Amino acid sequence: MTQSPIPVFLDTDIGDDIDDALALKIILNSPELDLRGVSTAFVDAFMRARMTQKVLSDWGRPDVPVAAGCSNPLLQPMPTQDCHQFKMLEENPADGKSTFPHGVDFLVEQAENNYQNTIIAIGPLTNVALALARAPQLAQNSRLFVMGGQGVTGNQPQWNIRWDPEAAAMVLRSGMEIWSVGYDITTQVRLTAEHLAQIAQSENPRTQSVARLISLWQNGTGRLPFLHDPLTVLALISDCVRFEERYVNVGLCGSQRGLFDYNTPCQGSSHMQVAVEVDVTRAIDLFMQRILNEPSSC
């Protein structure tokens, strides 16, 4: 019997690193997943929503609802960001919506409708934290796959947790079922120039749109992409990533601010699944199959 696709909701800070857009494309190209909506978070969430709407239209999915969430972290100052991929909006500046529903409202609506969703969070967790504060039942109605944490072997705060550790602490303490893919795992999975050439040479117009976004990002950074966010999606649809149960606490003060403490069960710590190993070859092979519109199992 064919299994029904998993309903998923993506919460993203698309526009900075290219990996958010690549993760969105993998979700759309994966028959195991049914994308119910996208919410944007972090600096200039409205522009991120416009960009999301644009890429969804280019990739043949203008039907997917888009919401603009929280631009500001809960407590700490908002940084300045240079989002190179926003340049794709300069071609037709009048295109797109001038208003969007709020990302927190969208998540709360999912809780109220009792959807058994999987939330894939690949940006700071501000939207998810505020939705849980407004609708605690979201913790029972949904599970969370998050690209977050420095990993069990790292000692530097990972971006998504660093920029709103209070939100991360709220989410981890909510009782939600959480699967975390940390920075020490995702940095093992990186595309080569040969992979990018293969994407650029595709004759599929939607894949060509992906290649253009990669080019815009590379023009601003000069780097090759790590598959931080796409690996979090792949972990949901395959066994390329191995998880272990750990107690996790989020540091909020001093040198521990934004760090995951995986080793000390204490009051307020959360029991969750933490990525500890990745099969790099299998992960990249599956990523390339999906990005080139060739679905396959891993």
CA dihedral of residues 173, 178, 179, 182 (deg, nearest 10) = -30
* Both structure tokens of 235: 């972990």
**84 has catalytic annotation:** no
CB atoms within 10 A of CB 106: 23
| H or E segment to which residue 141 belongs | helix 138-141
| H or E segment to which residue 6 belongs | strand 6-12
* Both structure tokens of 281: 């070859």
Helix then strand then coil, % of the chain, to nearest 5: 40, 20, 40
Sign, CA dihedral 187-32-42-126, equals negative
Count Cα neighbours of 239 within 13 Å in the Cβ-side half-sphere.
Answer: 1
Catalytic residue among 84, 102, 195, 228: 228
Active site residues: 228
